[in-house]
Amino acid sequence: MSERSTLAWLRTPEAVRERCHAMLALAERDALPHFMFDPARLDDAADYVAAVTRANYPDLAIPYHARWRHFEAGGIDRWEALAVRLRGCDPTEVARLRIELCTVSVLLDAGAGPYWKFREPGTGLELTRSEGLAVASLHAFCSGLFSADPLYLLRADADGLSRLSDAALAAAFQVATDNPLAGVAGRAALLRNLGAALRSRGEARIGGLLDVWRSRAVSNELPARELLITILELLAPIWPVRMTLDGENPGDVWPHSALHGDGPTARLIPFHKLSQWLAYSVVEVLEQTAIKVVGLDDLTGLAEYRNGGLFVDLGVLRLRNPSLAVAPLPVDHIAIVEWRALTVALLDRLAPMLRARLAAADLPLARLLQGGTWDAGRRMARERRADGSPPLVVQSDGTVF
């Protein structure tokens, strides 16, 4: 394939799945430099995750793994409280602002580090990690931080995003010397780049994506892969440039030397973690506008440290050199690339085992993650380490995971 056609392929969930399973095939041959795979431990992992899922959702009425869950931290449904203020508004406008809220919130959710916290105004709740980032971003959105129009604070538009400063974002997230947040500058740059990307497309607001998805739906059905590809097209210019293909930035795509094949992209593994996280988060917004998202299992699991930590902590994956778990590793370290790829492929392996244990053959991966693997990974991390940190620590720049 040409670089152009390969770039388009790398921006598909099929590419994520194919390359990640190629890494798992190497692990099954014990041919990876950093991780060993013990398939016998998958049964223990499935038992553990199934038990966590049953405890969390005894009736198996599991929502999607989406940003909206984090807005409910501390048992407070913050979106519902905001929705009350929006009663009587045009439903299409409400859907647009929901898309804008979850987009900026997801892009700000690339790990908080172990020391940051957010004290919520009004409730006094002290929130950390993903929940803290979610609630902080919701308050920032409601304050109009991402809007250029003082008459319409509840929006994220191209002008508002483009003018966002590092200092304004740090203040909204209560960042201080004694309350450090990893990658503030990287997060702010992502949102400024998003503003520029919207302008280049002639879009005033992120919520304009709703019209794109409506145009791509057939009989009010939108394939999940089309949902993701639309997001990848919009977000392509916003990521830090680590490599280029056909003059474009492929985004969350990384090389691994163990992969072989012809062409300049043969060793590349796409993950698109934040983009897929956003796709899952948008699904329920679209479904409330009568657009049914179909083929949801075409999307993959998320290549992030809670799901990945689950497999390491339960012994499904083992480091050949345990000293790698001592110091933070850059996100492009080959061990991190390996870990992320194996995480995606192992979530595919785990899914049918979970469906069998839960006697729920129709549960999509998006609900199994929520039920699920993400919370099981967090619980296991807390059992193993006092600060609940993952078994490998990644140096975050606020733009990957």
Write out pLDDT tens, residues 90-115. Answer: 999 999 999 999 999 999 998 788 88
- The C-alpha atoms of residue 130 and residue 67 are separated, in whole angstroms, by 9
Give the predicted TM-score (pTM) of the model: 0.94
The mean pLDDT of 110-136, rounded to a whole number, is: 93
Can you tell me the mean pLDDT for 211-224? 96
| Residue 364 maps to a domain | yes
**What's the pLDDT at 6?**
85
In a domain, 170, yes or no: yes
Q: Which pLDDT score is estimated for 110? A: 82
Q: What value does the mean pLDDT of the chain take?
A: 94
Q: For 77-93, what is the mean pLDDT? A: 92
Decide if pLDDT at 145 tops 60: yes
Residue 282 lies in a domain: yes
Mean pLDDT score, 123-135: 96
- pLDDT above 70 coverage of the chain, percent: 99
- Residue 229: domain span: 3-395
Residue 144 pLDDT exceeds 60:
yes
CA distance 313 to 334: 20
Is residue 97 assigned to a domain?
Answer: yes
How many Å apart are CA 280 and CA 80, to the nearest integer? 19
Task: Report the pLDDT value the prediction gives residue 245, as an integer from 0 to 100.
Answer: 87
Confidence grade of residue 231 (pLDDT, cut at 50, 70, 90): very high
Residue 121 resides in a domain: yes
Has residue 268 been placed in a domain?
yes
For the chain, the C-alpha Rg in angstroms (whole number) is 20
DSSP string, 304-347: SHHHHHHHHHTTSEEESSGGGGTS-EETTSHHHHHHHHHHHHHH
pLDDT band at 1; cut points 50, 70, 90: low
Non-local (6+) Cβ contacts of 86 within 8 A are 94, 97, 154
Reported as a single tens digit per residue, the pLDDT across 50-67 is 999 999 999 999 999 999
Distance CA 279, CA 228 (A): 6
Total of domains in the chain: 1
- Give the least confident one: 132-141, 257-266, 283-292, 388-397: 257-266
| pLDDT score of 4 | 59
Check residue 3 and give its pLDDT: 60
Residue 396: pLDDT above 80? no
Position 246 confidence tier, pLDDT thresholds 50, 70, 90: confident
Q: Tell me whether residue 401 is in a domain.
A: no
pLDDT at 63: 96
How do 292-294 and 221-223 pair as beta strands? Answer: parallel
pLDDT at 49: 98
Per residue in 160-173, pLDDT (tens digit) is 999 999 999 999 99
C-alpha–C-alpha distance, residues 11 and 240, integer Å = 16
Predicted confidence band of residue 193 (pLDDT cuts 50, 70, 90): very high
- Asked, for residue 298, whether it belongs to a domain, the answer is yes
